[in-house]
Amino acid sequence: MTERVVQAVHGLQAVAPDPADEIVESARLRASEPREALLERYAAALWIDSATGARARRVLLRALCKAFGNGVRIGLGVLVLHPHTFEIGDAVFLGSQTYLQGRHDGHCLIGAHTWIGPQSYFDCRDLELGEYVGWGPGGKVLGSEHTGLPVEMPIIQTDLVIKPVRVGRGADIGVNAVLLPGVTVGEGAIVGANAVVTRDVPPYAIAAGVPAKVLRSRRDPVGLS
C-alpha cells in the first residue's frame, strides 16, 4: 500500500462563537439549577448520538465548568468528575468514553485546540494540558499516589500525595501512553505509543519505551547534543 499525506483538520479549524442561545441557556441553568441536577441531566445526555445530544452535553458542561470555550466537541460517554474545577479552551475535542477524574478542590486546564482520543483516562486533580496537544486514544495520566506509610496499613488507607502533571503546548502523546505523577512533558515533545513516562521529557524531545527514555531531539535529527 502507498502512504498518503493529507492536510490536518482539527488543529487548523477556525473557531466560531457558539450559538447565542446555547450561551444564554447555559447561563440560565448555572444560575437556576443546583449542580447535582445539572450532573443528572448531563448523565442523561451521555449516550444520545445526535446533534441534539451533542448540543445538550455542550450546554450542560458549559454550565458546570469553571470556564468553557467555543467550538468544544464532546463525544459519547465522556465522564467528568467535579467539572466545576475545569477550564476547557476553545475547539477542544473530548473523544468518546474519556474519563476526566477531577477533585473537589482540584485544578484542571485543557488548552485550546487540544485533541483527546477516545477511552482516555485523566487524573485531573492537578493537571494542565497546553494548547494544541494531541492525545492518543487510551492514553492515561496518573496524578496522585498513596504514601504507603505506615507499612502496616493497607496502602489504600494511607495518605494521598497529589503531584502536578503538565503537558506543554503542541506536545503529542501516543496511543496508550501513561504519564505518572509529577511529570512534565515539554512543549513540542513526542511520547511514543505504550510509553510509561516516569520522569520529565524535555521540550521537543522524542521519548519512548518502558520506562520512557529520550531517544533524540526533534530539533537535532542526528542525535541529542
Which pLDDT value is given to residue 222? 66
**31 class by beta-carbon count within 10 Å (0-12 exposed, 13-18 middle, 19+ buried):** exposed
What pTM was estimated for this model as a whole?
0.94
- Residue 43 located in a structural domain: no
Instruction: Kindly state whether residue 170 falls inside one of the protein's structural domains.
Output: yes
Per the domain annotation, does 205 fall within a domain? yes
CA–CA distance, 180 with 82 (Å, rounded to integer): 21
Query: What is the reported pLDDT for 14?
Result: 87
User: In angstroms, rounded to a whole number, what is the distance separating the alpha carbons of residues 86 and 211?
Assistant: 30
**pLDDT number for residue 225:** 44
- CATH code (residue 189): 2.160.10.10
Q: What are phi and psi of 126, to 5 degrees?
A: -155, 85
Residue 89 lies in a domain: yes
What is the Cβ-side half-sphere exposure of residue 137, based on CA atoms within 13 angstroms? 6
Q: Is 71 within the bounds of a domain?
A: yes
Q: Kindly state whether residue 44 falls inside one of the protein's structural domains.
A: no
Look at the chain and report how many structural domains it folds into: 1
Residue 181's contacts (CB-CB under 8 Å, 6 or more residues apart) are 123, 142, 143, 144, 145, 161, 162, 163, 165
Residue 209 in domain: yes
Any long-range contacts for 122-126 (C-beta under 8 Å, 24+ apart)?
122/98, 123/165, 123/181, 124/81, 124/82, 124/85, 124/86, 124/100, 125/101, 125/162, 126/162, 126/163, 126/164, 126/165
Virtual CA dihedral for 176, 181, 185, 190, nearest 10 degrees? Answer: -20
Question: What is the residue range of 197's domain?
Answer: 65-217
Region of 136 (left: φ > 0; alpha: ψ -120 to 50; beta: rest) is: beta
pLDDT of the residue at 221: 65
Element (H, E) at 217: strand 213-217
Residue keyed to cell 502496616: 152
Q: What is the pLDDT of residue 224?
A: 47
The per-residue pLDDT string of the chain (225 residues; one tens digit each, 9 = 90 and over) reads 789 999 888 888 889 999 999 999 999 999 999 999 999 999 999 999 999 999 999 999 999 999 999 999 999 999 999 999 999 999 999 999 999 999 999 999 999 999 999 999 999 999 999 999 999 999 999 999 999 999 999 999 999 999 999 999 999 999 999 999 999 999 999 999 999 999 999 999 999 999 999 999 999 866 544
Q: Is residue 181 part of a domain?
A: yes
Q: Tell me if residue 8 falls in helix, strand or coil.
A: coil
Alpha helices in 19-50, H assignment, sequence order: 20-32, 35-44
Phi, psi (rounded to 5 degrees) for 97: 65, 25
